[in-house]
Chain A
Amino acid sequence: MSTREQIIKKLAPKEFNTLGVIWVALLSIVSLAGIIAYIDQIRRGLEVTNLRDYAIWGVYISNFVFFVATSFVGAFTASILRLSQKKWRTPLVRIAEMVAVAAIAMAGVAIILDMGRPDRIPYLFMYPRLQSPIAWDIIIITIYLAFSVMLLYIPNIPDFAILKTFYKDKPFLSKVYGFLAINWTGSAKQIKIHQKSIKVIAVSMIPLALILQSVDAWLFSTTYRIGWDSTNLGPYFISGALVAGIGALITAIYMVRRFNHLEEFITDKHFDKLGRLLVFACLVYLYFNMNEYLIPAFKSTQGEAEHLQELFFGQYSLMFWFAIGGGLILPSILLMFRKMRKPFPMFIIAILVVVTSWWKRYIIVSPALLHPFMPIQGVPEEWSHYFPSLHEWLITGGTLALCILIITIFVRFIPVVPIQRTLDEMEITATENDKN
């Protein structure tokens, strides 16, 4: 059996190896390209995008929706897992929390990228109007961000205390961990408060996450647009978020496990469980997709018929069927086999799911805008199509890279598998006089 020191050593955050450095450099370059493109966008206005008066929202908004969805699942699964007293969940929770924080922070950024006047952000607080779904969104994102940071930070306090002593020979790092550990000693009283606060945060996180995702759906369903004007949109978005988020989570867990050599802690069993969860999410989402597309197709009111025609057979059909077939049906079939629920096949499937989920968001946002009630006339022909411009791709790529970069930095400095908790579970008590 491993000793306490060995476990701490194994689980303490590792410095980047060469591969890690290359990885970070790559992400930084992509982020930087995005930042440069954004500066140009500020200078010249949204003209640099391919958005125009009909396609008023595009890839920035679908990207925003994607981040919200990913974050939703991070926090949602983390809370559920925390509240369920299952032992196996320990190594998964923290990665989920990291994903949640990084994604919601980038969701906030993504929505700013879409604004015509980012210099006027303060107006949102100076002249807020509460009946606007955007106001709801801003309120919920702020609260949610605060809670997801707490959900990541508070459970980490005992680990920070451990790391403070562990890094004794690195005074600066030790000091930072010491600061973050806010005098954690592990006394019974502290543990009690600690447990209680985690529980409160985890419980509040669930309704917050549901509200976040619903408000996101309502941004669309409060309009009259064909394709958005649907009472199904709330649960449709929530179930879609489950798919996207679990996919992202599996990808993140696989990468972290691989590069931090945590095979001992994140086992095949975990992947098996996540695989089952993903199948479940895909099936639920398929069900809501049926509600969303097949029922209107059955009635085929004029606007809906045109819109669905475009999706099923028209210019979006390739993306649409790729998203439905490749992103939902195929993964649910594959993952029914035990063999496919092994880490590596799961990783590939998860990537497929994430990519198609991202496209799915794009299909939800763009085509609906190009089917207005009034005809599109008196504008250049190009305005009735939309495909993102180079600026939009660079900026969007930048946000995705930045999100992964944030997660990477978290992984670098925060133990991905909770140390204290693992020790507790393995019933290894400290050699010092630990009252627990």
Chain B
Amino acid sequence: MEDKSKNSRRSFLDKSLKLGLLGVVGGVVATKLVDATAQEGDTVRVLTQDGKVMEVDSNAVKDIQHSHESEDYNVREGFPGRKFVMVVDLAKCKNALKCVDVCHKEHHVHTPNAWLKVFKMKDNENSSPYWMPMFCQHCDKPACVTVCPVDATFKRRDGIVLIDNERCIGCRFCMAACPYNVRIFNWGEPVQPGIEKDHHGTPEFGGKPSVIGTVDKCDFCPHAIAKGELPHCVAACPTGVYYFGDLYEDTVTNGEETVKFSKLIKDRAGYRLYETMGTSPSVYYLPPVDRLVEFEDSDYSYEQVKHVPIPTEEKE
């Protein structure tokens, strides 16, 4: 069912992210990156610690045991040795809403319960308007986690903030606490055709199923990361607005280009939303300057996003 471009993006990510890790940690720790398909004489690209891309013989890369395979993988601990970050390039966003579409399809949510919204922003009278995708910022000091009375929403070592909707008591304190207002509550029985309601989901794949009386939000797609894929929105964006990657590897990719995270943030004056609040988000925004796409105004309203259809069939 997956189209080709997505496949190639996926394998690219696989290599770039995993090879990236090789460069880090002083080249001592490498990761399992050579799959059975690698043959003698093949070269692979490696990102060194200072950000250079090198081609090396695939045989030179040792297959070592990655720490998370030796430990029992734990949903609440996350992927060991990783710290995921996202960069959103506002200069490229043209409100194509493909991210919203795919998010809804994959997570079986629909408007107005969107976990990912594209806001029409205008910072002050004189500045120009721009589109801004908004979703959970996966804060490193998440206000939502601090206030949760039952540990239903939790922060993992890999930076992801998730919700266990089998635990959530529906007090909505996390929603009051989150300064970014990205949390969604299931006020009634969620409409999710094709999803078994008595099925017990995992916090790593939000929306399968959504549970009445509990909170939902963007989960950073750990189910995709586990398969070596990019989060759905990142893969779907036609203009490559989203970059996803690993802070420790200092690499982010939007599926087309892979760049050094620190350099990108430095060069493009990346910022985080409401830095002053001290929530320390994992999502960075690049200011909407030197636009790559024109801002085409549209009457941004509920009507415009309402079109996103209710998904009818189960994938997989």
When chains A and B are docked, how far (Å) is the Cα of A41 from the Cα of B40? Answer: 66
**Interface of chain A residues 14 through 53 with chain B (CB within 8 A):** 44-47, 49, 51-53
A377 is contacted by which of B113, B119, B146, B213 (Cβ under 8 Å)?
B119
Contact in complex: B300, A123 (CB < 8 Å): no
List of B residues within 8 angstroms of A132 by Cβ: 146-149, 173
Cβ of A219 to closest chain B Cβ, rounded Å = 8
Would you give the 0/1 interface string for A38-70, flagging 1 where the beta carbon is closer than 8 Å to chain B? 000000111101011110110000000000000
Contact in complex: B177, A373 (CB < 8 Å): no
In the complex with contacts A115-B169, A115-B171, A378-B305 CB distance below 8 A: yes
A222 within 8 A of B: yes
List of B residues within 8 angstroms of A383 by Cβ: 112
Contact in complex: A123, B169 (CB < 8 Å): yes
Contact in complex: B277, A133 (CB < 8 Å): no
User: How many A residues touch B, CB cutoff 8 Å?
Assistant: 46
In the complex with contacts A374-B180, A378-B111, A383-B112, A124-B149 CB distance below 8 A: yes
When chains A and B are docked, how far (Å) is the Cα of A133 from the Cα of B300? Answer: 38
List of A residues within 8 angstroms of B305 by Cβ: 378
When chains A and B are docked, how far (Å) is the Cα of A265 from the Cα of B13? Answer: 83
Name the residue in A114, A131, A377, A383 with the highest tally of chain B Cβ atoms < 10 Å from its Cβ. A377
A134 within 8 A of B: yes
Contact in complex: A53, B184 (CB < 8 Å): yes
**Interface of chain B residues 197 through 239 with chain A (CB within 8 A):** 212-214
A224 within 8 A of B: yes
Question: With contacts defined as CB atoms under 8 Å apart, how many contacts are there between chain A and chain B in the complex?
Answer: 139
In the complex with contacts A123-B150, A133-B147, A375-B119, A223-B177 CB distance below 8 A: yes
A379 within 8 A of B: yes
B151 within 8 A of A: yes
A128 within 8 A of B: yes
In the complex with contacts A116-B171, A133-B147, A57-B176 CB distance below 8 A: yes
Contact in complex: A377, B120 (CB < 8 Å): yes
Contact in complex: B169, A121 (CB < 8 Å): yes
Would you give the 0/1 interface string for B275-302, flagging 1 where the beta carbon is closer than 8 Å to chain A? 0010000000000000000000000101
A52 is contacted by which of B114, B134, B187 (Cβ under 8 Å)?
B187
**Could you list 9 examples of A-B contacts with CB < 8 Å?**
A52-B187, A53-B175, A56-B185, A114-B172, A120-B168, A129-B150, A134-B147, A223-B177, A225-B176
List the interface of chain A (C-beta within 8 A of B): 44-47, 49, 51-54, 56-57, 114-117, 120-121, 123-124, 126-129, 131-135, 138, 219-220, 222-225, 369, 372-375, 377-381, 383
Given contacts A54-B181, A126-B150, 9 further A-B contacts (CB under 8 A): A45-B186, A46-B188, A56-B175, A116-B172, A121-B169, A123-B150, A127-B150, A379-B112, A379-B302
List the interface of chain B (C-beta within 8 A of A): 111-114, 117-121, 134, 143, 146-152, 167-173, 175-177, 179-181, 183-189, 212-214, 274, 277, 300, 302, 305
